[in-house]
Homo-oligomer: A and B are copies of this chain.
Amino acid sequence: MSKKIAGPEIERLVQLLSRLPGLGPRSARKAALALIKRRVELLVPLASALADAVDKIVVCPDCGNVDTLSPCSICRDERRDRSLIVVVEEVGDLWALERASVINASYHVLGGHLSPLDGIGPDRLNIARLVERASAAHVTEVLLALNATVEGQSTAHYLTDQLSSCDVAVSRLAQGVPMGGELDYLDEGTLAAAIKSRKRM
């Protein structure tokens, strides 16, 4: 807010809320007011949830996931297939795969993608630990589940190089028409990939 309109505590709350992704100054003010108005149902529990997060949430030293356990509950889960490591850019991608319940493997969170223009080189990503994990005898496959963006794909190529010394198969996600996708609305790259990788009926 350009002009101070409330006490410093409220100003600070609005200013911090406006730094959350998806909230601008206006919606941060709305969120702050909603919190103040709904003290018992929202403000008090959110304050305690954040205090809990400060105290308890840690980054897993093995895979880079966030959890209240270290190593994280996925790394501890004995029912997971430890021979397959699914590499993702961000924890949000791991959550998306877990929500979809499509794979029961271990994960590795890079913490982003290579982006030389933004000064993000290999040393800024969680790559050394990935190579170390992929070198373990029980690991047979590394699936690079990176975004199908230019940055995601160049990161995938870099990782493929780095993993060449490990005795693992390196794979990537299939590209093609998404479920419910209408051809008329798809870009040429997707159509080209879908045709190139066409399957027999």
Q: Which residues of A are at the interface with B, using a C-beta cutoff of 8 A?
A: 1-3, 5-10, 12-13, 16-17, 19-23, 27, 29-31, 33-37, 39, 42-47, 49-54, 56-57, 66-69, 73, 90-92, 94-95, 98-99, 101
Contacts and interface: CB of A to CB of B under 8 A. Distances in A.
B47 A53 contact: yes
A52 B7 CA distance: 12
Contacts of A91: 33, 36-37
Contact of A50 (B3, B35, B90): B35
A22 B29 contact: no
Contacts of A30: 21-22, 92
Given A3-B101, A21-B30, A50-B43, A57 B73 contact: no
B45 A6 contact: no
Q: Is the interface of A mostly helix, strand, loop or mixed?
A: helix
A43 B35 contact: no
User: Oligomeric state, in number of copies?
Assistant: 2
B39 A31 contact: no
The 4 closest A-B pairs by CB, nearest first: A47-B50, A22-B27, A5-B98, A20-B31
Contacts of A13: 46, 49-50, 52-53
A76 B75 CA distance: 57
A39 B98 CA distance: 24
A89 B123 CA distance: 54
A54 B45 contact: no
B17 A21 contact: no
A129 B70 CA distance: 55
Contacts of A35: 20, 50, 53
B49 A44 contact: no
A124 B110 CA distance: 53
